[in-house]
Structure 1
Amino acid sequence: MSAKIIHKTVNLKASPERVWQVLLESPYIEEWYAEFGEDLKVETDWSPGSKYRVVDKNGFGMIGKIAENVPMKTLSIEPEGMVKDHKDDFESAEAKQLKGNRETYWLSETAEGTKLDIESACSEEYAGMMADMWDKALVTIKKLAEK
């Protein structure tokens, strides 16, 4: 698979602690994840090396692991496969395309609050759609963090 890297940045008038809360905690994460799909639920404890699953109400989604978690600084997720009909799939061609990608969030404190940078890899064919979804997700993250 030829991966396309999406980079996005947003400046938030909120502390790194608040932005971190919005990125990782319920009910915030479900609200901004909704920009990627309806009724997505996240299953993880966010500790490095732990399992990460994001699944919709129909049992479809992604499975991976938490590669890095430095609170209020860096979060990195490595996809390892798909979830289909509530079952983990690491072997299909579609699942194998996800391996080797990474989704990373960097927070840095600024005079006005926090700068959030994201980097997300996806296939070339979905890059435009994913970039649009990230734009919407960052608007939602900003709204939630600045409440």
Structure 2
Amino acid sequence: MVPVDSRVPSAATAGYADDSTTIAGVSFASVLAVQNADDVKQIDEKDSDDAILAKNQKLGLTFALLEGGAWQFAKQMLDRFPEFYAVNASRSIALSIADLLERSTDDFYQEKSRFALGDTGTFNLSSSLAQTHSLEI
């Protein structure tokens, strides 16, 4: 038989919950207070993103170019930043890039899905993808 060392806690004192113990409930008021605190943090994050775009003119200009769809000029600005700086500094810039990608691929998707369904009236086989859908990334 192995002797029990007093320095080693037993299973009951090591953090294992006893099945007969009850878990205390959380009041609605405390949950509401935590939720309200999280809501304030989210509002502050939006304000801080707007403040970042207002303080950093290069980021603000990049955001405006992306919102306007001027990818070539926005890419020139993005290339001047350290890698991934703009999308890490501003959530709005990251979302604008995602929206621009969605808009640029949507026309292509609609064209190809119509062709796959047999509606070839609007599809021109002589047009190439590079000519009609070029972002020049």
Q: TM-score, normalised by structure 2?
A: 0.22
Q: TM-score, normalised by structure 1?
A: 0.21
Which structure has the highest strand share of the two? 1
Higher relative contact order (CA 8 A, sep 6+): 1
- For the pair shown, the structure with the greater C-alpha radius of gyration is 2
